[in-house]
Amino acid sequence: MTQDLLPRRIVVGLSGSLESFTALHRAVAEARRCGAEVLAVLAVAPPLHAADQIPLEVESAERQLTDLLESAFGSGGPEGVPFAATAVLGSPGLALTQIADRQGDLLIVGAPRRRLRFPGSSTARHCAARATCPVLVVPLPFVPAVPADPQISAAR
């Protein structure tokens, strides 16, 4: 792949779900591989009818983002990767597609847990349908089912 085709910025959606943490770590791995910067985005739906609550919602989202990043990386960010994070008010799918709008962007989101490819109105479906940049939908790693009692299955 030529240098022109590699992403320069990787935008990744973060929500606190296992899927979003998987996407975050994949974004960091991709950034290391191709020398891109990572922008983690936490989008929180704004309050419906209380404009005076917006500053409190933004402050709360920023605290939540700090906690999520600490859960993902510990006290420091990912080493060796230019990394930034932002919390915004808005629908996650819409916010991510508006932020990942540059040439050279790659948008990474976690796949929904349902077995169908893009069910309902998931963030992944919205991003795949409306983003102007490439979108990588990252599934959870496959973990084989473990029997409840290993002795029972070994006896069979």
Q: Which two tokens stand for residue 55?
A: 């500053």
More confident residue, 85 or 140: 85
CA 88/CA 52 separation, integer angstroms: 16
Task: Give 43-63 pLDDT, tens digit per residue.
Answer: 998 777 677 888 888 899 999
The answer to whether 123 and 19 have CB atoms below 8 angstroms apart is no
Average pLDDT over all residues of the chain: 86
Determine which helix (DSSP H) or strand (DSSP E) holds 107, and give its type and residue range: strand 105-110
Task: Give 76-115 pLDDT, tens digit per residue.
Answer: 889 889 999 999 999 999 999 999 999 999 999 999 876 5
Collapsed DSSP state (helix, strand, coil) of residue 140: coil
Q: What is the mean pLDDT of residues 141-151?
A: 65
Predicted local confidence at residue 1, as pLDDT: 46
CA 137/CA 128 separation, integer angstroms: 8
* Nearest CA-CA partner of 99 in 29, 5, 13: 13
